[in-house]
Structure 1
Amino acid sequence: MRAPIGDAATRERPGVEPLPNEADEGPAPDFASACKPAIFEDIPVTHCVADPAVHSIATALAPNSGQQAGSIEGWRQGRDAANIAFVVNAGMYGDDLRPVGYFVRDADRFVEIDRGSAGGNFYLKPNGVFFGSEGNWRILESETFVRTVGTRPQFGTQSGPMLVINGEMHPEFSENGPSKAIRNGVGIDRQGRAHFVISGEPLSFGQLARFYRDELDVPDALYLDGNVSALWDPVTGRMDEGRVGPLLVVRRK
């Protein structure tokens, strides 16, 4: 049985092996951070921008065993940080850290798209998919993705709910609802750049959606997760300790 999905989503799922270590840790990156602090409605947020002209995006999986299982720090061990701009959690997961919903890594599909209905944030329709290939990054509602995308992307992650849809806030959101948590999301602007936002304090879905719609002028944005939201910024040394499963890795080309 599938468990209801919420900010700390859990499901029973078969294990997934993490990526093998790529290289030993190297020196800190010698470029400026892609992440900047901001304040929105008295809430501190961190805003990170991935530009397809200078960045690539890939999905990854946090280790599902060992002392640092379910952490960005665990994934980082043994990797060269020299070209990593930042890493964020990529969506919801179950007890075994396997992604909930569609998940593609290096054009290899680990989990098929979930078109089902249940309780929790993931199933607050419409939900959506963040995906891309060769610097062309997109966010589509899940049903639109199924109807219109025929070629498997290089990376993809399904989450929910959508925050902003064609410039409009998700129809189920109030301006500032009672449910508040540390939350993060991703949005694609009109120039094709990906905007990753993670709050420093609890905020509502409506606040996060308005930041994307009003401050960033992003026509489409997708919620990634809450409470477990985490960011690694190698330039500043920030390493959040949230429990994560699927990851989005942004690298300098």
Structure 2
Amino acid sequence: MTKPDWPEGCVEQVFEGARAILCTIDPQTHDMRLVYRDRMGDVLGSVSAVVDQLAAGAGTDHKLVLAMNAGMYHADMSPVGLYVENSVEIAALNRDDGFGNFFLKPNGVFFVLKDGNAGVLETDAYAEADLSPEYATQSGPMLVIDGVIHPRFLPDGTSKFIRNGVGVRPDGKVVFAITRDRVSLGSFARLFRDVAGCENALFFDGAVSSLALGSKMEIDSEEPAGPVAVVVARSNGGEN
């Protein structure tokens, strides 16, 4: 199901009893970015703040499609793992062990290259690829790895939250997804593999997940956000 005022490519459907919004993005006609700080270098701190900043500086060439939180952060709002914005590495790749979802390995990286194409790679594979992305954010755990569900997920574990993440299809299109209802990691991974058709997908976050469609907050946890993924539609037919 879609709504008349939603961006093209965004639909809501029920999967395994839970409602989810999926937005399929074509890199040929859309720009994908990551936003963390404002023009003064201060952390924006929420999806709604990012939307407000973009709306204040919006031109006619780009139209905001969506914004969602895109990576885990420390108490001081700094990214837990790799974060690259406008080709500048703000935080380094984190290959440490630890507690929490970020360290439920294998974790991974969502990245956007300078040609606009995007990908999701497991952390070690990303390090070996030696890429120079324009944007990148590390999070965890991986949901789907080369078509296989994360090996440590139960089919339907008891830990259930609203969740959001990103995946990439074999045709290069990118799927951003968020649930309206609480789901397990196993169910969320199957959403990306079986419904979205993504061979690789990455978990962004859980209880703090938020989504803006256009300039409207469709799901607002009213919680802080560190890195935020932004998608804008180009009005020039796909040329940069």
| TM-score (ref. length: structure 1) | 0.81
> What does residue range 101-116 of structure 1 map to in structure 2 within 5 Å?
101-116=81-96
TM-aligned CA distance change 1:114 to 1:34, over 3 Å: same
Q: Which residue of 2 aligns with 1:70?
A: 45
Report if aligned partners of 1:34, 1:86 keep a CA contact under 8 Å in 2. no
Report if aligned partners of 1:185, 1:225 keep a CA contact under 8 Å in 2. yes
Residues 74-109 of structure 1, C-alpha deviation per residue, up to 9 Å, x if partnerless? 223323286111111111011222111000000000
Q: 2:10 aligns with which of 23, 27, 35?
A: 35
Shift of residue 225, structure 1, vs aligned partner: 0.4
Residues 18-65 of structure 1, C-alpha deviation per residue, up to 9 Å, x if partnerless? xxxxxxxxxxxx9844421111011001111111111111110166xx
- Structure 2 Cα separation of the partners of residues 223 and 198 of structure 1: 10
Shift of residue 135, structure 1, vs aligned partner: 2.1
Shift of residue 69, structure 1, vs aligned partner: 5.6
Secondary structure of residue in 2 paired with 1:88: strand
Residues 94-152 of structure 1, C-alpha deviation per residue, up to 9 Å, x if partnerless? 12221110000000000000000011110111000000211221111101111122x42
> What does residue range 73-222 of structure 1 map to in structure 2 within 5 Å?
73-77=48-52, 78-80=56-58, 83-133=63-113, 134-149=115-130, 151-222=131-202
Number of aligned residue pairs: 220
Residues 183-236 of structure 1, C-alpha deviation per residue, up to 9 Å, x if partnerless? 011000011011011000110000000111111221100000000111111266
Please report the RMSD computed on the Cα atoms of aligned residues, expressed in angstroms. 2.1
- Structure 2 Cα separation of the partners of residues 199 and 46 of structure 1: 6
Report if aligned partners of 1:62, 1:71 keep a CA contact under 8 Å in 2. no
Report if aligned partners of 1:33, 1:236 keep a CA contact under 8 Å in 2. no
Unaligned runs of 5+ in 1: 1-29
Q: Which residue of 2 aligns with 1:231?
A: 211
Report if aligned partners of 1:62, 1:72 keep a CA contact under 8 Å in 2. no
Q: What amino acid is aligned across from residue 208 of structure 1 in structure 2? A: F
Q: Which residue of 2 aligns with 1:61?
A: 36
Q: What amino acid is aligned across from residue 206 of structure 2 in structure 1? A: G
- Structure 2 Cα separation of the partners of residues 208 and 239 of structure 1: 17
Q: Which residue of 2 aligns with 1:18?
A: none
Question: After TM superposition, where is structure 1 displaced by more than 3 Å over at least 4 residues in a row?
Answer: 30-34
- Structure 1 Cα separation of the partners of residues 47 and 129 of structure 2: 33
Report if aligned partners of 1:128, 1:142 keep a CA contact under 8 Å in 2. yes
Residues 155-208 of structure 1, C-alpha deviation per residue, up to 9 Å, x if partnerless? 000000000001000000011001100101100001101101100011000000
Report if aligned partners of 2:106, 2:141 keep a CA contact under 8 Å in 1. yes
Q: What amino acid is aligned across from residue 193 of structure 1 in structure 2? A: K
Report if aligned partners of 2:48, 2:217 keep a CA contact under 8 Å in 1. no
| TM-score (ref. length: structure 2) | 0.86
Secondary structure of residue in 1 paired with 2:125: helix
Q: Which residue of 1 aligns with 2:233?
A: 252
Identity %: 37
- Structure 2 Cα separation of the partners of residues 237 and 33 of structure 1: 17
